[in-house]
Amino acid sequence: MSSSPETFSLDPSSSSSSNNPRPPLPISEYEVFLSFRGPDVRQTFADHLYSCFARSKIRTFRDEEELRKGEVIAPSLVRAIKESKIHIPIFTENYAASKWCLQELAQMVRCWKERKGHIILPIFYFVDPRDVRHQIGPYWEAFEQHSLKHDLETTREWRESLQEVGKMKGWHITKSSGEGAMIDQIFTEVELRLRTSHTLLVTDQLVGVNFHVQEVMRLLTQEFADERMVGIYGMGGLGKTTIAKAVYNKVNMHFDRCCFIENIRQILSENGGVEILQNKIISSILKNDREIKDTGDRIHQIKNRVCKHKILIVLDDVDGMFQFEEILGNIGNFSSESRFIVTTRDRRVLEFLQVYKSYELKEMSRDHSLQLFSKHAFRMDYPPEDYVNLSDEFVQVAAGLPLALKVIGSLLFQTNLIFWEQKLAELKEIPAAKVQERLKISFNELTYNEKQIFLDIACFFVGVNKESPIFMWSDCDFYPGSAIRTLVLRSLIRINEKDEFWMHDHIRDLGRAIVREENFRNPGKRSRVWSNKDALNMLMDLEQLTGLRYLEVRCGSLTGDFTEVLPNIRWLRLHDCDSIPTDMDLEKLIVLDMKDCPVKDSWRSWNSIKGLESLHTLEIVVCKSIRKLPDLSGLRELEWLCLDGCTQLTEVPGLGRLESLEYLSMAGCSSIKRLPDLSGLNNLTTLNVRKCPKLKELKGLERLEMLQVVETDKRLKVRHLLRSVARYGKRITRSVRGVLN
């Protein structure tokens, strides 16, 4: 182990585990598919409905009739229909006049008949459902024309699709209908339907959970005046979070709004923890990502807006630092139908919160323990006959703790009897109360590279998207692909649905304890430092920083010349800093992430950065002093470039020659007037130039075969983009907004 720290974080909010270094790359998955005839409702009802969905982060494919070319709908449209759970055809008087609308409808009905969870919610906009169902009036006239151009089999399928959907329950909008109220009804129904299909990720290795879930649900549904909270308590590693998630998945559709807040104990241990927690709750319930800085404003939002809904909030891993009234106000302000589920290791916390309905989660029974152990040790429910006795002994050693059963079982998977006997002897020497020591036997079996990655995740990257750390580890020759696979197979980490690293807090604490053991007295001699206090002390001695490969500083001030201070840095993250070093040597840098820092055109470190062939990620976000970036053409490996919120930025030299670039975002660069021809960005998949009012045109997009997502403002001209969509339609996975020509 290195005598000087490899990584550390300087952050008034302590650990970076709650910070995601970047949003994940856009996925080609939609929740809702809107089908409509453009001239009828594109600028009115369809646009209002789409905007309503977008504000609530519902991924919606809005079909644009201008994108339709040829006689049949493009593969990209077919895929979008198949991927979407909910299909919303907006029937208007002239809907049936469009052969593309009818083709889309037929595809929706095919998906619906396959019974794979697709839902059709029709809207009859100033048209009688009977006209749709029986093809009379304008629909009869449309089919008179179609019969002259299309074969009988095709028109028969279209007619049958209209008949089928015309019988379905939907919304009939007439002159007497209030469109705003109708859109609100549609949104409520769609959100409810999506919520029933979107469940929190729970491990597929569940054993004996149903009984606990039913008991908690029984408490949750009991009617007691003024009692809105239910508690789940028990020692760490028993599965309280798993039970809470399973309950949440079963009951969330009965509430107007829901949120599940994990790791509250850790959040509140950070500086500004109350603010972080309040903003999480407000954004989840009100569907608003705006971060509220003012304490009074947050309290006002909770009291006057959050409380008005019938809500379900799960507060996971609460300890004595949690003060309900400080964070959420008086519980009496909430609807009597609202419910809170609180999980904690300490029953006294529930007593302090006056939670009178609580459920104690105890150790697993012997039978359930054996089954869970076998699922991980043998990938089957019960052990083979010649392993029964040994398995029983391991189950006794694990003492009914699910986490220990998973980790120990995963360690023994596909190993021989000799290894089993050795590990059993080791475990028997460790007292039952020392859970971390028992988990450590799995860590001891890791290779050097696997240990480095495990410790990095435990100290810094829980809750962080995996992509940037993987690039850093690759540059350090840690071979992260195989190492991460091993850690997952050993049940030491998990990759969640957002491609973020997840680690049980017991295992995270184990990793941090291992690092502390490197030097109990002097944190500066450890390989990793995540404590803000320890990191501040280290900055007083710059010589201790030379071994760093990861450095994170938030709300700090770094002044002076840092030449030769960070020769091994791979990932530099500076957020909300009052000042930054005048000069740095960054020859090995893989990721540069700066947010709200006073970086300027004249920053001397640009000379070091602009020629970095190894740089993978460059994020210069909300840096309002910079007007012109250096020539970026030398960044041959750059894949991710984010310049959001750089309001004074007017020029990005070399941008058009970044052949490896996959993601480009310049949202909110309000001074940018022009960009170079982008036709050389052969690997670009995502482009975001929203809120760039002075940018009038984009050139070269028609040649970009890999381009999937384009986010623009309505008045921006994108030359030949519609032709590009027609040519490469199968690769377009999101509707292009605001294209005029």
pLDDT in tens, 59-101: 888 865 444 555 566 777 888 888 888 999 999 999 999 998 9
CB atoms within 10 A of CB 540: 8
Inter-residue contact 478 to 452 (CB < 8 Å)? yes
Cα 353 to the center of its chain, rounded Å: 31
CB atoms within 10 A of CB 248: 21
Q: Tell me the backbone φ, ψ of residue 660, rounded to 5 degrees.
A: -90, -5
Instruction: Give residues with Cβ within 8 angstroms of 140, minimum separation 6.
Output: none
- Relative to beta strand 501-502, strand 494-495 is antiparallel
Give residue 116's pLDDT.
Answer: 72
Give residue 70's pLDDT.
Answer: 52
Give residue 717's pLDDT.
Answer: 56
Those residues of the chain that have pLDDT short of 70 are: 1-29, 63-73, 196-205, 223-226, 432-433, 542, 713-741
Give residue 731's pLDDT.
Answer: 36
Tokens of 453: 């990655």
Give residue 253's pLDDT.
Answer: 84
Give residue 741's pLDDT.
Answer: 25
Query: Looking at the annotation, which residues are catalytic?
Result: 104
Q: pTM to 2 decimals?
A: 0.66
Give residue 740's pLDDT.
Answer: 26
**377 burial class (0-12, 13-18, 19+ CB within 10 angstroms)?**
buried
Give residue 8's pLDDT.
Answer: 53
Instruction: Give residues with Cβ within 8 angstroms of 448, minimum separation 6.
Output: none
Give residue 64's pLDDT.
Answer: 57
The H or E element containing residue 196 is helix 179-197
Give residue 204's pLDDT.
Answer: 53
Tokens of 154: 């095709």
Give residue 210's pLDDT.
Answer: 87
> Mean pLDDT over all residues of the chain?
84
Edge-to-edge, what's the strand order for the sheet holding 617-621? 528-529, 7-10, 550-554, 571-575, 591-595, 617-621, 640-642, 663-665, 686-688, 709-711
Give residue 537's pLDDT.
Answer: 75
Give residue 308's pLDDT.
Answer: 87
What are the strands, taking DSSP E only, across 643-731?
A: 663-665, 686-688, 697-698, 709-711, 717-718
Handedness of CA 607, 608, 612, 617 (dihedral sign): negative
